[in-house]
Amino acid sequence: MDGASPLQILEFYAAAGIDLAIGDTAVNRFAPEPSLLPEQAAAPRADAQDRAAAPKAAAPRPATPPPPDDAAGEARRLAASAPDLATLETLLAAFEGCALKATASRLVFADGNPAGRVMIIGEAPGREEDETGRPFVGRAGRLLDRMLAAIGLDRSGVYIANVVPWRPPGNRTPTPQEIAICLPFIRRQIALAAPELLVTMGAPASQNLLGQKDGILRLRGRWFDCEIEGRKIPALATLHPAYLLRQPAQKALAWRDMRALKARLDPR
């Protein structure tokens, strides 16, 4: 980047999908551990024995999330302890186990009506959702609203959430580890909302909530039982509106799925 102007550097970052700054100062992840004494840090090589003898870290690094297994266990414990959705949201907002929280602006918990007959579950918040704290408010959300309107529904009749409630940087797909850590919270959210029907949008929601491995084009249009806390909730897998924006020809399939949802809600 030598010789590049600040604007060119920013454009380079934007093209690479980096559209937010996490901190004011750069972090040198190659810097020696703070626990090492200066002379140890300066030593060109330390053999394993020397490293074992080095003093223990005085304090853990700030804001380092716990290891994934601990985090998933803590998520399960916290989620199970929530007696209602408001408590679940408070516990989730205070949860430090998912590293996405550090880069997101805020928690995106839910939108719509928790007493609605249908609960819709997407993947993860995007930029607009991260700014507003509400799921599905960007372009994909506007398409979702139109899909719902086509079968006579709106946000007063459905409850909307995501598998992962913090925006992944640059809108990347959440990793399996991030999903595994957040899964106990969305499962508890479903249990507490107790919808009559679920709609999972896209592969991450469909595969992780319905225990399926197939791709979304094989899963879509099919009903599964989503087993949550001893209850089986009928769940329809469908295409994600963000995918439909990229592949408008597939809207016909999503339209078929919306009709199947309508038929299940209002059988004649």
Binding site for ligand URA (CB under 6 A): 122-126, 129, 135-136, 138, 140-141, 162, 242
Q: How far is the CB of 32 from ligand URA (least distance, A)?
A: 40
Q: How far is the CB of 35 from ligand URA (least distance, A)?
A: 40
Q: How far is the CB of 72 from ligand URA (least distance, A)?
A: 21
What is the rounded distance in angstroms from the CA atom of residue 123 to the CA atom of residue 200?
9
CA-based angle 212:146:143, to the nearest 5? 60
Residue 259: which of 234, 236, 232 has the closest Cα? 236
Nearer to ligand URA, 54 or 253 (CB): 253
Positive or negative CA dihedral for 266, 160, 196, 117?
Answer: negative
Hey, which residues does 237 pair with through a beta bridge? 200
Q: How far is the CB of 163 from ligand URA (least distance, A)?
A: 8
Nearer to ligand URA, 112 or 125 (CB): 125
Residue 183: which of 78, 63, 66 has the closest Cα? 78
Q: How far is the CB of 200 from ligand URA (least distance, A)?
A: 10
Nearer to ligand URA, 129 or 257 (CB): 129
Q: Which residue is nearest to ligand URA (CB)?
A: 122
- Longest CA–CA separation in the chain, Å: 79
CB of 191 closer than 8 Å to CB of 231: yes
Q: How far is the CB of 225 from ligand URA (least distance, A)?
A: 22
Nearer to ligand URA, 33 or 154 (CB): 154
Nearer to ligand URA, 126 or 195 (CB): 126
Rounded (10°) CA dihedral 5, 6, 7, 11: 100
What is the rounded distance in angstroms from the CA atom of residue 12 to the CA atom of residue 16?
6
Residue 100: which of 144, 163, 160 has the closest Cα? 163
Query: How many residues make up the chain in this entry?
Result: 268
Nearer to ligand URA, 17 or 32 (CB): 17
